[in-house]
Structure 1
Amino acid sequence: MYPGIPWQRDIAHQRNGFDLTPEELGEWFLKLQTVGNVHNINLVTPEHVVPQVALSILAARDMGLRVPIIYNTSSFDSLESLQLLDGLVDIYLPDFKVWRSSTSKRLLKADDYASTAMESIKEMHRQVGDLAFTSDGIAKKGVLLRHLVMPGKGDEGREIMRWLAENVSRDLYVHIMEQYHPDAHVGKTKRVTRRVRLGEGAAPEEEVRYADINRAVRDEELVSVRDAAVKAGLWRFCEPNENSAFHL
């Protein structure tokens, strides 16, 4: 699991929660099914606790869990951890964030992000295949791949779409997301001291952090990634709206 990202999508950064054993977590899964009447159990970025998650799923199924398990991930997973989940996870929700190692090193602090994501996404698809739905439009099994289009990174998004079509499946369900928001560390000022001549005061000057992504995504950037996906042969896109029958 990489250290973190300097921007936000719809992510909360608060450190709230409490400790549970795998069996206790499994009991919570069951409560959500019976009391909450949920469609699924959505596990968000659990890469660092996969062995415990696997045990909790097994315990919950022994107690009667029937709803699908969703594994919601950055795709910076090890193959070993994903193989522990084979047969336990019904729906994978992986991100494919960026393509170039220089970008991932700078923004994600992980220069091997793309290569790791490629292996992880192929393994997820091997396990559960393309996304399938119940007769009433609720996702039941498969992969839903997400890509957040970022300012100035449309070329990386286009490469990702081509790779997915050629190496995973042209029937892959893809969500090309537009809700990038320059928050967290993006746009904050950092103080640096410029070199000055002898006798001058050392006047500090301000620079904006991650200035290249300190803006909203433009419509043409979104369109270019979508067009590249269609040209590569992808056709199943997640476009939820008020008239959509699609549910997770």
Structure 2
Amino acid sequence: MTTTATRPIGARPRAAIDAKTLRTDKWWIAPLLTVIGLTAWVAYATVRVFMHKYFWVENYHYLTPFYSPCVTDRCADAGAAEFGAILPNWWIIPDAAFSLPFLLLFRLTCYYYRKAYYRSFWMSPPACAVPDGHKTYSGETRFPLIFQNLHRYAFYAAGLISLINTWDAIKAMHSPGGFGLGLGNIILWINVLCLWAYTLSCHSCRHIVGGRLKHFSQHPLRYRFWTFVSKLNTRHMGLAWTTLATLAITDFYVMAVSAGWFNDLRFIG
């Protein structure tokens, strides 16, 4: 026995609408800008990672974050192998081979970036009140999206890499000529501070700090840190884009000084 849905007596029939969406605003601009922005950044980063030069300024110990920690024989030859040269000089191997995969995993699985590339590259969905670009939806329960659950573990690696970037900024204050301060130092520190803000604003960090607590009053330090992280969390999207900009600017500045395009503006030393 089968039943069919019936319309209540007196109810108006639903309008037959052929259009996919009734939105008349330019809703497609946001996903388009996301595609352009992320594509441009990935293209630049890929070229720089496999360029294998102009990543180190020996006079001031400037090391681009794209190559930190530098672990190939190239790094040792340049004097940038702070933690030792472990890998050979094969072109296909990035000089920061140990950190880049974890940073990529952290960004790919980031809650904001998921929203960004789901809506832009996958059109799933591209905007509110706009149909999904796919007929079926299984969430993040199947391959490959099930690996998004690794985000909480990638957070720990990202925190460790932020510590290494901080060490790079500290070392750059003590060049072979002694203590010094230049425009490059300021750029390195701005990038480090932004990276810390983005990393700490992570949803996983907020859960780690304040999750599974039944009484905040019994954990005042964790509550205070949770409050701080929660304020950062509200700016997670802005910090995600800001750090992409600071990473590119820092790398370009180090590359330009290393290549001799211009000299570092020195204030001390």
TM-score scaled by length of structure 2: 0.29
Greater relative contact order (CA < 8 Å, ≥ 6 in sequence): 2
Structure with bigger helix share is: 2
Relative to the length of structure 1, the TM-score reads 0.31
